[in-house]
Every structure is written in structure tokens, then in C-alpha cells.
Amino acid sequence: MKNIYLISAIIGAVVPYMFFIQFFSVEGLNITFFISSLFANGASGGFAADLFISSFIFWAFMFHQLRKPRNPKPYLFILLNLTIGLSCALPAYLYAREHQNEND
């Protein structure tokens, strides 16, 4: 599973950035318009809301996992979540967790 997590994290970083680069190359670094575009209609708003809720649950899960020994600290994965997305942060966290458990 460790290799699947790693490949998923890479794909989860590349695919969203393809869309982000396309958006920012057309619109420039217009963060306000970017955020308003997330909720441009019901479909995109639903996807955005789902992503925000899932991200929050992922963060809570990571902090809860700190109670168990040898789990990765959540801060890097929160940064990945905020700058790339959950599609990169979640498999990256799972990869790091597998890697730490494998080395024990």
C-alpha cells in the first residue's frame, strides 16, 4: 500500500495544479475571484463544501492520531492540504504513516 499512497500523493499534487495553473494563467493571481469561482454554482459549491468538510475531518483525524506512538505530525500535511489539496495531503500522510511503521 505504501507505493500506492506515494503514487496517489504525486497524482494528487499534479492534477489539481494543472487546473490551478490554467486558472491563474488566464485570470492572474486574483485570489478573490478564485475563491468566488469555487462557489460559482451549486455543483462547484457542493464540491467545495465537501472538500472543506473532508479536510477538516482529516485534520481532526491527524491530531487524534498523535495520541498513538509514531504517527507523523500533522503540520506538513495541513500545509499540503491548504496549498495543493486533500488529494495530495491524505495519501502523503498515509504514506508517511506507513513509512514510520515500517521502520519500527
* Per-residue pLDDT at 92 exceeds 90: yes
- Predicted confidence at residue 104, as pLDDT, reads 66
- Predicted confidence at residue 12, as pLDDT, reads 97
> Domain of 44?
2-102
- pTM > 0.85: yes
If one counts the domains in the chain, the total is: 1
61: part of which helix (H) or strand (E)? helix 42-65
Give the whole-number percent of the chain exceeding pLDDT 70. Answer: 99
Whole-Å CA distances, 52 to 3, 37, 103: 27, 15, 33
